[in-house]
Amino acid sequence: MSKIVASLLLVLFANLCALPAQAGLPEALPADLQWQTNNEDPIFASPDAKRGGRFRTFVTTFPLTLRLVGPDSNGSFASFLRANDLGLVGLHPNTLKPIPELATHWAFGDDGHSIFYRLDPDARWSDGEPVTADDYVFALSFMRSKFILAPWYNNYFSEVITEVVKYDDHTIGIAGSVAKPADEMLFDLSLSPVPEHFHILDENWVRDYNWRIEPNTGPYQISEVRKGKYVEFTRKADWWANNKRYFQYRFNPEHIRVKVIRDINVAYQYFRKGELDNFPLLMPRFWHKKAQGEIYEQGYVAKIKFYNDVPQPINGLFLNEDAPPLDDKRVRYAIAHALNVQKVIDTVLRGDYERMQTANEGYGDYTNTHIRARRFDLAKADQYLTEAGWSERGPDGIRVKDGQRLSIRVTYYSSGHNDRLVILAQEARKAGIELALNLLDGSTAFKQILENKHQAAWMAWSGAGLSPRYWEFYHSDNAHKPQTNNVTNTDNPQMDEKIMAYRTATDKVTRVKLAHELEQMVYEQGSYIPTFKVPYTREAYWRWLKLPAFHGTRTSDQLFSPMGGSGGLFWIDEAAKRQIEDLKDKGQPLPPAPLLEIDETWKLN
């Protein structure tokens, strides 16, 4: 058991392998540093925003802890806590350039692995203590500590971030082990400080700090915890960053109450009654069926569909090249042409999802937009299969070759996808391919796939970061062995060469070019078949919530996110609230009624 666990690889930071030992940071601050900052980008909030009010939202499970790290600190509530835990630099949600957060300036060392930051002297913890270089030095030892029971953080802050040095109270240096373009280094090495004066690190830390409210640097702090019921945040009266360029006009509600409602259908009833201010409508069932009725017709509640441009999960069918007949490229191509993804979108997904074209979408310049995923085409499937010697069909219509039926086992782990897969399997039969559907629970399926015991895996890897990851998914170092993310067992020397070039290149133009070429190779390899993406957010909201005229930003994955890098843009209009409640009592509409907004500003192709 522990062997299996031991080797479960989650190689996001694949670059750790075979890296030369890095030289440490200089003892004295180099004099010739080119300090940079960014106060030129447009602001992305509305000057019309009003402060005040209580924003009411929900989660389906009460948080198990208020710690930011350690066991169970990764639930749905964690996003609220992390959003108030500012980093050194942020990412401008539209331009994707770095912007100041806790640091005002940054500079790059000439070794390509070190960054220096000048801290904002105004920065304060919620208990009034200033944020100093010591909090960053402490953060590193904190994140490396065994006592926090967070081995992945332990690793990241040992292997990716190798050193943090204090030069004076407001200047630090951070050394990373990974050579990447400057903007990505900033993003990866943007360490959050940890308040040294708050923590006592010992073996009881996980338990002792489970419900303690840690001082933070963001706009909100927890003001009330009612276990099992709700957590309330209150805006800091004199938040240090109130008037900073990219923070002004944002984080407007005075209070944010996160209520626990364990059933999504019941949560919708709360919303319908006006006891929640907004409601996510990503699920087709909600958007098309549930979100109907008087509150919409009368215009008290609006619906909005907002296209965004963020890294998409790598969604699709992964074919294991080590499992015959999938070792034959022609068979893989034929399967791609036999998958009627569009039919699934048009039927069970109600046309809501869109076809994913490549593995890595939503990475800005890195995304290769010239590639089109193979379309459902029985003639092409037939041609490839005939070439590959699968020309005969058995009595049940499935192709046979040397007594073997062309049957592919598809491992998947979400019963909600049954209908999608049944349609694909039915359509694939027309091409003489049998897809044998094999539903397992999440952990079991994941284990089977990581042990390469699958033929085809129907899954989604989470997309993250600023650029696509190729080494972990396609390099031969990770092929033919269990517990790696190369679940297709791609083993292609030309690809290996290009992947290594991509990993060592630090100039963005080169990296983008290589990423495009790699994506083309992934397409030609044919072992990953892209399926769906959801490049937008959909929500319903009571119209006393006001959004800026541009609704959201390029990277808004939610429009009514009260905190976070692209969050806190909306505000509550108390006068409108009274007006809507008044109209509701009288049964009169609020024009324009009904209100459906579709914003395609950031829609790709």
Contacts to another protein from residues 187-226, by CB under 8 A? 187-188, 190, 206-207, 210-211, 226
481: left (phi over 0), alpha (psi -120 to 50) or beta: beta
> Applying CB under 8 A, does 266 fall inside the site for another protein?
yes
Per the CB < 8 A criterion, the answer to whether 335 and 433 are in contact is yes
Angle, CA 87 vertex, CA 211 and CA 561 arms, to 5°: 70
Of 30 and 313, the one with the shorter C-beta distance to another protein is 313
Query: Nearest approach, Cβ of 430 to another protein (angstroms)?
Result: 28
Amino acid of residue 162:
T
Of 285 and 393, the one with the shorter C-beta distance to another protein is 285
Per the CB < 8 A criterion, the answer to whether 88 and 135 are in contact is no
Contacts 24+ apart (CB under 8 A), 276-279: 276/56, 276/57, 276/58, 277/55, 277/56, 277/57, 277/541, 277/542, 277/544, 277/545, 277/560, 277/572, 278/57, 278/539, 278/540, 278/541, 278/542, 278/545, 278/559, 278/560, 279/539, 279/540, 279/541
> Applying CB under 8 A, does 439 fall inside the site for another protein?
no
Of 216 and 492, the one with the shorter C-beta distance to another protein is 216
Amino acid of residue 425:
A
> Applying CB under 8 A, does 155 fall inside the site for another protein?
yes
Site string for another protein, 550-589 (x = CB under 8 A): -----x-x-------xx-----------------------
Query: Nearest approach, Cβ of 218 to another protein (angstroms)?
Result: 15
Of 207 and 288, the one with the shorter C-beta distance to another protein is 207
Instruction: Choose which of 51, 54, 146, 197 interacts with another protein (CB under 8 A).
Output: 146
Binding segment toward another protein, per CB under 8 A, in 496-504, 514-522, 534-542, 580-588: 534-542
The angle, 0 to 180 degrees and rounded to 10, between the axes of the packed helices 378-387 and 329-338 is 160
> Applying CB under 8 A, does 478 fall inside the site for another protein?
no
Instruction: Choose which of 46, 104, 162, 308 interacts with another protein (CB under 8 A).
Output: 308
Tokens representing 294?
């008087």
> Applying CB under 8 A, does 311 fall inside the site for another protein?
yes
Q: Is 222 helix (H, G, I), strand (E, B) or coil?
A: strand
> Applying CB under 8 A, does 132 fall inside the site for another protein?
no
Query: What are the backbone dihedrals phi and psi of residue 163, each rounded to the nearest 5 degrees, phi first?
Result: -160, 145
Query: Nearest approach, Cβ of 459 to another protein (angstroms)?
Result: 7
What number of other Cβ atoms are within 10 A of residue 506's Cβ?
15
Q: Which of residues 337-396 bind another protein (CB under 8 A)?
A: 353, 362
Of 362 and 432, the one with the shorter C-beta distance to another protein is 362
> Applying CB under 8 A, does 174 fall inside the site for another protein?
no
Burial, 195: exposed, middle or buried (Cβ in 10 Å; 0-12, 13-18, 19+)?
buried
Query: Nearest approach, Cβ of 8 to another protein (angstroms)?
Result: 5
Query: Nearest approach, Cβ of 78 to another protein (angstroms)?
Result: 9
Of 331 and 459, the one with the shorter C-beta distance to another protein is 459
Q: What is the DSSP letter of 359?
A: S
Query: Nearest approach, Cβ of 303 to another protein (angstroms)?
Result: 17
Using CA atoms, how far apart are residues 145 and 394, in angstroms rounded to an integer?
A: 62
Of 150 and 410, the one with the shorter C-beta distance to another protein is 150
Pairing of the two strands 255-260 and 54-59: parallel
Per the CB < 8 A criterion, the answer to whether 479 and 486 are in contact is yes
Query: Nearest approach, Cβ of 6 to another protein (angstroms)?
Result: 5
Query: Nearest approach, Cβ of 485 to another protein (angstroms)?
Result: 8
Query: Nearest approach, Cβ of 200 to another protein (angstroms)?
Result: 16
Query: Nearest approach, Cβ of 276 to another protein (angstroms)?
Result: 10
Q: Which of residues 7-46 bind another protein (CB under 8 A)?
A: 7-13, 16
Instruction: Choose which of 22, 95, 154, 520 interacts with another protein (CB under 8 A).
Output: 154
Per the CB < 8 A criterion, the answer to whether 422 and 412 are in contact is no
Instruction: Choose which of 69, 341, 410, 518 interacts with another protein (CB under 8 A).
Output: 69
Per the CB < 8 A criterion, the answer to whether 540 and 291 are in contact is yes
Instruction: Choose which of 109, 112, 313, 389 interacts with another protein (CB under 8 A).
Output: 313
> Applying CB under 8 A, does 270 fall inside the site for another protein?
yes
Binding segment toward another protein, per CB under 8 A, in 32-40, 123-131, 399-407, 437-445: 437-445
> Applying CB under 8 A, does 441 fall inside the site for another protein?
yes
Burial, 101: exposed, middle or buried (Cβ in 10 Å; 0-12, 13-18, 19+)?
buried
Query: What are the backbone dihedrals phi and psi of residue 356, each rounded to the nearest 5 degrees, phi first?
Result: -80, 135
